[in-house]
A and B are shown apart, each in its own frame.
Chain A
Amino acid sequence: MIRSDILKEIAPILREQMVVCNIGLPSQELHMIDDQPSNFYMLGTMGLSSSIGLGLALAQNKKVISIDGDGSVLTNFGTLPTIANNVADNYILLIIDNGSYGSTGDQPTYAGKKTSLTAVARACGCENVVEVAAKDTGKALQAAIDGDEMTIIVAKCESGNIKVPVITMDPVVIRDRFMKAVQA
C-alpha cells in the first residue's frame, strides 16, 4: 500500500474529525479523495502539520488529527518533545511513513534507513506511540479516536504517488471554512 491507499481507506474515519493535512501530495490526495470543510490543507510551510494540529487541540475540545509524513517530521523534529510535554488527549498525530520525500520525487528519508520515528517519539517522551503496517492504519486510527488519549501513530507504507491535481482553493477560504467547522 502507498500513502494514497491509506488515505482512501481512512477517509470515512477522517470525515467526522478535524484534520490538519501535510503540504504537497498528501493534501492534494485527501482533497481529491474526500474534500471536507473540516480538512485544513497546508499549501506551504513543510513540517508544521503536527504543530498546527497540536495548537488547535490545545485551544478547543474537538478531536484533531494531524496527518504528517516522515520527511515532514524530520524537518520539524522539535515538535515531538513539544507534543510529549503538552499532552492534549484530543490530539492524534498520524505519521504516514513511506521512507521517502514523496512530493519531491521519492528521494529516500533517513526514516527509511536507520532512524525509527517510533523510537524517536518514545524517546522524546510521547507515551502512547503505536507503529502499524499500512493495512492496519484505519483500525489504529479508530482505536485512537475511541481511546480519548493522545496518540502518535506511525503507519509504515511503501513509497509511491498517484497523479493528483493541485489545490486551487484560496487559502483564506480553506481557513475560513475550517474555522467554521471547528466552531460548529
Chain B
Amino acid sequence: MSINTKIVGDLVANDISFVTTVPCKQLAGVIDEIDAHPDVLHIPSNKEDEGMGLCAGAWMGGKRPAIIMQNTAIGVTINTLATLIQYYRMPLPMLISYRGELREPVACQVEMAVHTKALLAQMNIPTYHFHTQSDADELDAILKYTFMCNKPVAILTDANFWGGYGDQ
C-alpha cells in the first residue's frame, strides 16, 4: 500500500468526509486520492484561512473535516486558528507539508520552517512530526485524538518522509 493510500485510508476510517486543500507537490498524491475518493467531498480553496472557514462550516453541518496545506500557511492562519477554530472549540486535523527541513532545495522555505514549530507551540496546538514513513503509523491515533479534544492538531510531514525532492 502506498503512503498516500494509507493516509487517505486513515482519514476515511475516521469518518473524515470533507477535505479542503491548497496545492502542494509533496502532498499531490494524497490530494489526487482524496479527489477521487467517493466518500470524501474535496473542496480546493484559494487560501488556507478560507479553507479553515469551509472546514468550520462543514463540521457544524455534521461532517468531519480536514485541511491539507503547507507550513508557510501557519503564517497565514494564526488569527483564524485563534479566533475561529480554537475560540469556538472545533476539531481540525491539519495535514501539513513541512517545507524547509532536511533535503530542502529552496532556501527561502527554511525561513518559515524555523518558525513553524515555535508558532504551533505558542498557539498550544498539538503537533506531530512525521520524519520516516513508519511515523505515519500514528496517524489513526492522532485523528482520534483530534476529534476527542476538539482542537486543531498539526501533522508536519517533512521531505525525508516523502522521500526527498529527487534530483534538483
Contact = CB atoms under 8 A, between A and B. Distances in A.
Interface of A: 20, 40, 42-45, 47-60, 64, 76, 78-79, 81-82, 86, 171-172, 174-175, 178-179, 182-183
Contacts of B18: 55, 58-59
A81 B53 contact: no
14 contacts: A44-B79, A48-B53, A50-B53, A51-B50, A51-B54, A51-B56, A52-B54, A55-B53, A56-B61, A57-B61, A59-B60, A59-B61, A59-B62, A76-B49
Contacts of A48: 49-50, 52-53, 56, 80, 84
**Interface size bracket, B side:** 20 to 34
Nearest to A60: B61
Nearest to A50: B53
B43 A86 contact: yes
B124 interface: no
B56 A44 contact: no
A36 to B, nearest CB: 15
Interface of B: 18, 41, 43-47, 49-63, 65, 79-80, 82-84, 87-90
A110 to B, nearest CB: 19
Q: Does more than half of chain A's interface fall in helix, strand or loop, or is it mixed?
A: helix
B53 A52 contact: yes
Most chain B CB neighbours (cut-off 10 Å) among A54, A55, A179: A55
Contacts of B51: 51
A73 B12 CA distance: 33
A52 B90 CA distance: 13
Contacts of A175: 60, 88-90
Contacts of B80: 45, 48
Given A52-B54, A78-B45, A175-B89, A58 B84 contact: no
A78 B83 CA distance: 20
Contacts of B43: 55, 58, 82, 86
A175 B51 CA distance: 18
Most chain B CB neighbours (cut-off 10 Å) among A49, A50, A82: A82
A76 B88 contact: no
A79 B52 CA distance: 12
A145 B19 CA distance: 27
Contact of B89 (A50, A59, A76, A172): A172
**Which 5 pairs of residues, A with B, have the shortest CB-CB distance?**
A44-B83, A55-B57, A51-B53, A59-B61, A78-B46
Contact of B50 (A59, A82, A178): A82
Contacts of B60: 40, 52, 55-56, 59, 175, 178-179, 182
Contacts of A47: 49-50, 53
Given A48-B80, A58-B18, A79-B50, A182 B90 contact: no
Contact of B57 (A43, A59, A76): A59
A86 B44 CA distance: 9
A141 B85 CA distance: 29
A58 B58 contact: yes
Contacts of A58: 18, 41, 43, 54, 57-58, 61
B62 A81 contact: no
